[in-house]
Amino acid sequence: MSCALTDRFGRTIRYLRLSVTDRCDLRCVYCMAEDMQFVPRRDLLTLEELDRLASAFVARGVSKIRITGGEPLVRKDIMTLFRSLSRHLRNGVIEELTLTTNGTQLANHADALAAVGVRRVNVSLDTLDADRFRALTRRGVLGTVMDGLRAAREAGLRIKLNTVALKGITETEIFDLIDFAHGHGMDLTLIETMPLGDVGVDRTDQYLPLTELRSLIERRFTLTDTPERSGGPARYTRVAETGGRLGFITPMTHNFCESCNRVRVSATGVLYTCLGQEERTDLRSALRGSEGDDLLNAAIERAIKRKPKGHDFAIGPDLRPALGRHMSALGG
């Protein structure tokens, strides 16, 4: 293995979040606009190129790969990529191959994912109310996601539910969400909404600080902070009354940049070393510029050395989105 990728602040990159598409079959109100303009399919990396790119990061010490979108399971023949990348699991080179999904396609893929070595998945779920689910996603059917969760459990996959905290919504459902998740053996992670892309609504109206939500939760439940980590930015607590784990991702109220070990690559081969900055590096040209990986490795190395110390997220009534890029371009 070549020397590990370490940035100028001493943070070693161990985690790659690889987007395979910016397309999604939902239009969640905090993530996407009603009418999205997606990247032309001809501009996407092929599945073979995605594998080669991810493998270059593995050769430099990345030990966790998360496949993201958009909705990754809408990418045609996506299991081909999972099967190919799973060789790194079998060889013991990486610790984990996983994905974040909205759950709508999970029932069709859960068994296949488990068969190639995926052991856990993150599923986005912001409400347990069918009418509200359709409103938040602008088109989704809650029952389809529930079928996906059931299939994932039956396939032996561990599940973490991701819930974006939305003012006026999450406060009314948080106890039901905790009971549902922990009652089915699933973790639940709460996430502050982030100012990425124009989604057609005022983010000030959406934003719910997790400090407020935690105070609400503690009116009923006893939370104990733990040192547990899953490789991402979540900080975890244990809920005494349920025995389950509850995570908090707080990019707005308390960023997690000091320990960031992650980079993200878009489905078009653009490397972002920070979700909250526009610093980017085109890896597609390097990938296609030669049959070997020297150009690709050099581009990755240069990008990591420019990784910023942290992001500049802010939400306010007079602020435009921090970045024009929608969340669906890279996943979370």
Q: Strand 262-265 to strand 15-19: parallel, antiparallel, or no bridges (unpaired)?
A: parallel
- The closest of 12, 10, 91, 121 to 57, measured between CA atoms, is 12
Q: Give the span between the Cα atoms of 19 and 326, in whole angstroms.
A: 13
Is 292 annotated as ligand-binding?
no
Coil, strand or helix: which one is 166? strand
Give 68's strand partners.
19
Q: Give the span between the Cα atoms of 128 and 149, in whole angstroms.
A: 13
- The closest of 127, 19, 137, 135 to 71, measured between CA atoms, is 19
Is 274 annotated as ligand-binding?
yes
Is 183 annotated as ligand-binding?
no
Is 138 annotated as ligand-binding?
no
As given in the structure block, the two tokens for residue 101 are: 């999904």
Is 264 annotated as ligand-binding?
yes
Is 220 annotated as ligand-binding?
no
Is 19 annotated as ligand-binding?
no
Is 3 annotated as ligand-binding?
no
Is 28 annotated as ligand-binding?
yes
Is 262 annotated as ligand-binding?
yes
Is 260 annotated as ligand-binding?
yes
Q: Give the span between the Cα atoms of 84 and 47, in whole angstroms.
A: 9
Is 160 annotated as ligand-binding?
yes
Give the residue ranges of the annotated binding site for [4Fe-4S] cluster: 24, 28, 31, 257, 260, 274
Annotated binding site for S-adenosyl-L-methionine: 30, 70, 124, 194
Annotated binding site: 17, 24, 28, 30-31, 66, 70, 100, 124, 160, 194, 257, 260, 262-264, 274
Q: Which residues sit in the known binding site for GTP?
A: 17, 66, 100, 160, 262-264
